[in-house]
Each structure stands twice: as C-alpha cells, then as structure tokens.
C-alpha cells in the first residue's frame, strides 16, 4: 500500500470513529480540550492565533479561542480563496461572518489578512511524533509552507479527539510536524527531531 493509500485509509477510519462520537461526548471533550490548551498555550499580548469553526464532528475550538482572547491573543480564521489557497483573516469584535468555502464561515474581505503566530490545526489523524493527516486537500500544508517561506513559521498545535490517534502516520520530506497536540486527555508537546 502506498503512503497516499495508507493516509486515505487512516483518514477514513479515524473520521469514522470521530463521527461515531455522541454529540454530548464531543461537547464535553471539546471543553476539556479548551481547558488543557488554555493552560498549556502561552500567548503574548497581541499574538495572532488562528482557530477554525467546527465542521461536522470536529472539535469545537470556539471555547478555546475565547480563552486565548482573554489572555491577549488576536484571533484569526481560515478563509478559502480558491480551491488551492487559504489565508487567515482577523476575527474582529462585532464583525459579521460570511461563507468562506467548504461549508465554513469566517471574516469577510474587509477583514485584514494576517500571518498567525500560532495555528490551531484541524486534522483527521495524528501520531505520537506529531505527524498529522489532514483532510486531503492540502490547504493547511500549503498555507504553512507559504508562512515558512516568509520566515513567519507559526507554532503548530494539532486539535483532535483521542480516537483520532494512530500508531504511525506516513511522514514525507515535505511534511511539517506539529509542535504540540491537544486532546481531551491533555496537551502533549512534541520534542524536536522526532521524525
């Protein structure tokens, strides 16, 4: 089985497990994730943190985003510009959210585009080494690569439920590992060089 086929298999399997979690279990786990992450993520006043609005059975990071805002973070959300590109627009108080692609909502075109210092990264599967599998479109991979090219490498924090962990994610040279992973069981910092 090729890496691509294995990733597709792991993605289907873990998303199926995530989808099978009862709604009240997802809500409770999302609140635990918010508590663990807020305790473990240090932000400087004015630091830009990108989050995401949950789709389907994803972790709801809105409570975490509110806690980080209380710590002084500026918030941003991803916006799909075309089928290949996402940017991050600042989430300003009182701003109206609009449809931003792939069923998501975010700030409209009047909101400033920003480069996140910290990214809360959605994923379909992860392993203990900080390797992740996204949803297959490569949006986050390309966005992270663009930020690294600009010497603006963000801190990457994967957000997932425990059931999304797998023993090993196939890791390729172009992949960028996570700096930490937060699940309902806690926050794990990934040691550098675990590839």
pLDDT tens figures, 2-22:
888 999 999 999 999 999 999
Put residue 56 in one of left, alpha, beta given phi > 0 → left and psi -120 to 50 → alpha.
left
The whole-number pLDDT of residue 21 equals 97
Question: Of 55, 102, 97, whose CA–CA distance to 76 is shortest?
Answer: 97
Q: State the chain's mean pLDDT as an integer.
A: 91
Determine how many CB atoms are found less than 10 A away from the CB of residue 131: 23
pLDDT tens per residue across span 38-74: 999 999 999 999 999 999 999 999 999 999 999 999 9
Q: What is the pLDDT of residues 74-88, one digit of tens each?
A: 999 999 887 778 899
Size of the chain in residues: 195
Query: Where are any strands of DSSP class E within 81-153?
Result: 86-90, 97-101, 104-107, 113-114, 118-122, 125-126, 132-133
The predicted structure's pLDDT at residue 75: 97
Q: What helix, strand, coil percent values describe the chain, rounded to 5?
A: 30, 25, 45
Report all structural domains of the chain as residue ranges with CATH numbers, in order of start. Answer: 3-189 (3.40.50.10420)
Q: What is the pTM of this model?
A: 0.93
- Which of 41-73 are b and which e, b meaning 16 or more Cβ less than 10 Å from the residue's Cβ? bebeeebbbbbbbbeebbbbbebbbebbbeeeb
- Helix, strand, or coil here: 159? strand
Percent of the chain with pLDDT over 90: 70
Report the pLDDT value the prediction gives residue 192, as an integer from 0 to 100. Answer: 61
* For residues 138-156, average pLDDT: 89
**pLDDT band at 193, cuts 50/70/90?**
very low
| 119/93: higher pLDDT | 119
Q: Is the pLDDT confidence value at 101 over 70?
A: no
Of 104-113, 129-138, 151-160, where does the model show the most confidence?
151-160
Tens digits of residue pLDDT in 175-191: 889 999 999 999 999 97
Q: What is the arithmetic mean of pLDDT over 106-118?
A: 93
């Amino acid at each position: 089985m090729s890496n691509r086929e294995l990733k597709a298999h792991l993605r289907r399997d873990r998303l199926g497990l995530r989808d099978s979690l009862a709604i009240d279990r997802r809500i409770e786990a999302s609140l635990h994730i918010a508590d663990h992450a807020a305790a473990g993520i240090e932000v400087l006043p004015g630091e830009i943190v990108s989050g995401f609005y949950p789709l389907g059975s994803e972790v709801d990071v809105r409570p975490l985003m509110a806690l980080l805002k209380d710590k002084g973070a500026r918030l941003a959300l991803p916006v799909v510009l075309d089928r290949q590109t996402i940017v991050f627009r600042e989430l300003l108080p009182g701003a109206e959210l609009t449809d931003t692609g792939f069923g998501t909502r975010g700030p409209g075109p009047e909101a400033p585009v920003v480069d996140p210092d910290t990214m809360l990264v959605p994923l379909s599967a992860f392993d203990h080494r900080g390797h992740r599998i996204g949803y297959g479109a490569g949006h986050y991979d390309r966005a992270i690569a663009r930020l690294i090219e600009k010497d603006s490498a963000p801190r990457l924090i994967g957000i997932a439920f425990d059931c999304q962990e797998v023993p090993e994610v196939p890791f390729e040279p172009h992949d960028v590992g996570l700096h930490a992973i937060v699940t309902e069981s806690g926050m794990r910092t990934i040691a550098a060089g675990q590839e």
